[in-house]
């Protein structure tokens, strides 16, 4: 049996849409943040050299425990994703872990790459969706509803402001049909300050599975 990887180690998961997530296998010591920052910069640069159009999903890293060897993997994958552990080969499902020690390590690591993590709890998110074909309008609505978003009123001031900005910047066609959706976040899902919340990121990814040419705007 070939030898498995040993910390420090990182592996990349590239999605079909050209975005990628990274799993880091690092010792949780006083060099954790520095090791993470070095590994992150190295992996991102290497992947962009190989796949120039690839983009890192803007989702915070969190700890998940491998069910096989017990190692805590620092990963930006979604909760519930299946991962093959690089250390022992076991397959496990990501389930973010909490705790003051892990939170402090994660905060230091994110600070080392110039990112600040915030909670989304209490935010009211708005998303405008414009299908590339009339027949796709209803299926896209089902996807939005499946992610917990509810229809928003077209005359809602927040919706009108978002629409005006989207049309002005060419993100949406002001003459074509669109729909508005809203979600009041009731969980502590983390996000990077200044980046789209994970609820919007994951929803728009699924919308593009249904309609690769869908146009969206969020705020």
Domain segments of the chain: what residues? 9-115, 119-218
pLDDT above 70: percentage of residues in the chain: 99
The answer, yes or no, to whether residue 3 has pLDDT greater than 60, is no
Find out whether 106 and 117 touch, Cβ atoms under 8 Å.
yes
pLDDT in tens, 123-168: 999 999 999 999 999 999 999 999 999 999 999 999 999 999 999 9
pLDDT of residue 5: 84
Within 10 angstroms of residue 13's Cβ, the number of other Cβ atoms is 16
Q: Which of 90, 112, 99, 92 is nearest to 40 (CA)?
A: 112
Q: pLDDT tens digit string along 17-46?
A: 889 999 999 999 999 999 999 999 999 999
CA distance 54 to 59: 15
Q: Looking at residues 65-87, what average pLDDT do you find?
A: 96
Helix (H) or strand (E) holding 179: strand 179-184
- Residue 93, CB half-sphere, CA atoms under 13 Å: how many? 3
């Amino acid at each position: 049996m070939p030898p498995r990887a040993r910390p420090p180690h990182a592996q990349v998961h590239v999605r079909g849409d050209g975005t990628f997530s990274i799993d880091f296998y690092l010792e949780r010591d006083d060099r954790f943040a520095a090791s993470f920052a070095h590994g992150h910069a190295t992996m991102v640069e290497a992947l962009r050299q190989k796949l120039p159009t690839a983009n890192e999903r803007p989702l915070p890293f969190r700890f998940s425990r491998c069910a096989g060897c017990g190692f805590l993997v620092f990963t930006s994958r979604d909760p519930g994703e299946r991962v093959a552990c690089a250390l022992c080969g076991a397959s496990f499902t990501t389930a973010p872990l909490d705790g003051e020690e892990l939170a402090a390590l994660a905060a230091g690591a994110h600070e080392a790459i110039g990112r600040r993590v915030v909670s989304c709890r209490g935010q009211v998110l708005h998303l405008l969706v414009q299908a590339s074909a009339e027949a796709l309008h209803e299926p896209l609505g089902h996807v939005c509803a499946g992610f917990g978003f509810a229809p928003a009123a077209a005359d809602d001031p927040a919706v009108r402001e978002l629409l005006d900005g989207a049309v002005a910047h060419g993100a949406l066609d002001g003459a074509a049909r669109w729909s508005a959706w809203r979600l009041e976040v009731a969980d502590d899902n983390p996000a990077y300050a200044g980046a789209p919340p994970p609820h919007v990121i994951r929803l728009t990814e699924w919308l593009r599975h249904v309609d690769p040419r869908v146009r969206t705007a969020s705020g």
